[in-house]
Structure 1
Amino acid sequence: MQSAAHGDALSAGAAEGFSYFRVANPTLDVLERRIAALEGGRSAVAFASGMAAVSAALLCAAEVGGRIIAARNLYGVSVDAMDSLFPEFGIETDFVDDINDLALVELLIGPDTRAIFAESVANPSTEVADVAALASVAHRHGIPLIIDNTVPTPYLFRPIELGADVAVHSPTKGISEHGNALGGIVVDAGRFDWATDRYPQFTRQGVGVSDDCNDGWHSFASKFGIDAYIRHVRISNTCAHSARSPRR
């Protein structure tokens, strides 16, 4: 930040740059850009751990009382989080034993379903998800497909190329190879339209995306357009959620 005025412009979204280290910084920016490029995504946000990335990716999609359809064969801590932690935030999960049972997955989709979540290659069972088919089902109902691509890494497999809307990683594993660097990352394909009635968190006005000094009130969708989701993920990463109610 060059000055207080520059900081205000950064916070208001009137200028591009780095305003606060844990929001973004030059070092993380390089990592985010490179992983996004490897995955064929538009942009990415790095986290301190893989579970932080998984949690942010799903919570941002399903907040305001949504439901998630997920494979039962996920990494155990992901199942634990969705089974016991997420309900504390009003988010429930419909687990399926076989995520490739497309008829069952489609049957579970309801008006409050916000995402389908699976691992491209399950950890530790190594079962493979049919990403292209799941993406087709998800998009037919106007919901995104979020894929944890930790096991194969984008070197071996890129779910975004097969229709996934978000890819999640724990770089602690395959990407860093030796488990000596802890981290997580969310990659946004930049194709899914979040500005619909199913996702009110992206269309309501909020403090976290508004320029209060200039009486400029925005929503994630109105301010960031196609980048609404990844911007929400980044702001959530810094515990700077937008306000829950519009300005009065």
Structure 2
Amino acid sequence: MSTNESQLAGSPSRQGPPDIESGLIAGLRRGEESAFETLLQRHHTSLVRLARVWVRDASAAEEVAQETWLAVVQGIHAFEGRSPLQSWIFGILANKAKRRGTRESRSRPFSAYDSDADRDDLRGMSPDRFVPPGEEWAGHWTYPLADEESCPERHVLAEEAGGFILRQIDELPGRYRSVMLLRDVHGLTADETCAILGISAANQRVILHRARTRLRITLEPYLREGANCVEQLG
């Protein structure tokens, strides 16, 4: 396990549900296949998705994910439990994917993904549509994307929207995609995300805000169309 991986394993952070997480850790240390299968089902797809930020294609991302699982099994006895298991796993993945990307000569510094085009895409979104800095939900949208009236049709729309959202996240630039996956899809803290990606807190905030803004710009027309379909069915 690399130095960065060891630091992530020992960094102070929030804890997941102690009974579930400690049970998984104990199971992994005993070599229980069921514990490994549980983690595989929870995180494998997301590991592959995150690896695509740095490597050339889906096949390479799958290989990196497999290497990550091998490192998890081999390194679980060194895991100190002072950070969530999920954060530790994603940290291993990020380190391996970055190294693989460097070998492929396709990796750039994280900050190099910034461009004027990114900012141009966001100029049509008013800042008052986001909770301001200093508030509990800073950076989140101030009101829903669509009417959340409860009915069966809207639940179907919500399920379809979930898949659409993930597909749209996959289309984001790499730096946006990685931060949004860690923060909004998997619920990691800002500190954990910064440690995994090697970025500053200020950079993380800017990237996350821009990622959320770009995603909302894409989602609003889609969800309005879905809501109109529901109304027509009604």
Q: Which has the larger radius of gyration?
A: 2
TM-score, length basis structure 2 = 0.27
TM-score, length basis structure 1 = 0.26
Structure (1 or 2) with the greater helix fraction: 2
Structure (1 or 2) with the greater strand fraction: 1
